[in-house]
């Protein structure tokens, strides 16, 4: 009966991380199952050994040296990141500009070289004003 979930629950029980209802459930399971009792005893011994270890304070410069090492290793600091939305917005803006230019060209190209009615009227009015030579 010592599957992964029971091992995690007993570890949390030993560390005092369970709610009162969960503590009660685990305590009943430990009392009724010899395998869980053995697991509980192992976790309790391990906790006692870890608590008996001497506490070592890090040297004062550790925090600064770790921070510097992270900054030197971090590629994100060397180049600002552009968000996906910002990149997409730039591409959409460029695509919209190209599409607009294409629409304008499609509308203008069929009329290049063709006379418009206004142009024909202008030429017709301009001809009689010329003096014969």
Q: Model confidence over 57-68: pLDDT tens digits?
A: 888 888 888 888
pLDDT band at 19 (very low <50, low <70, confident <90, very high): very high
Percent of the chain with pLDDT over 90: 32
pLDDT at residue 77, rounded to an integer:
52
Q: How far apart (Å, rounded) are the C-alpha atoms in residues 39 and 7?
A: 7
pLDDT at residue 56, rounded to an integer:
83
Helix (H) or strand (E) holding 97: helix 84-108
Region label for 16, one of left (φ > 0), alpha (ψ between -120 and 50) or beta (otherwise): left
pLDDT band at 75 (very low <50, low <70, confident <90, very high): low
Q: How far apart (Å, rounded) are the C-alpha atoms in residues 39 and 14?
A: 11
Rounded average pLDDT over 79-95: 78
Would you say 43 and 11 are in contact if contact means Cβ atoms under 8 Å apart? yes
- Compute CA distances 26 → 32, 48, 80, 109, whole Å: 10, 20, 51, 83
Percent of the chain with pLDDT over 70: 74
pLDDT at residue 34, rounded to an integer:
95
- State yes or no: pLDDT of 101 exceeds 90: no
Q: Model confidence over 107-124: pLDDT tens digits?
A: 777 666 666 666 556 555
């Amino acid at each position: 009966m010592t599957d992964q979930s029971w091992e995690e629950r007993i570890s949390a029980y030993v560390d005092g991380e369970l709610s009162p209802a969960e503590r009660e459930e685990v305590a009943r399971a430990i009392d009724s199952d010899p395998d869980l009792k053995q697991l509980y005893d192992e976790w309790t011994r391990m906790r006692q050994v870890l608590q008996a270890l001497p506490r070592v304070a890090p040297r004062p410069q550790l925090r600064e040296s770790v921070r510097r090492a992270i900054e030197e290793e971090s590629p994100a600091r060397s180049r600002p990141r552009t968000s996906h939305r910002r990149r997409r917005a730039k591409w959409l803006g460029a695509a919209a500009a190209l599409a607009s230019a294409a629409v304008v060209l499609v509308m203008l190209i069929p009329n290049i070289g063709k006379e418009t009615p206004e142009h024909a009227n202008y030429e017709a009015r301009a001809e009689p004003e010329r003096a014969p030579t």
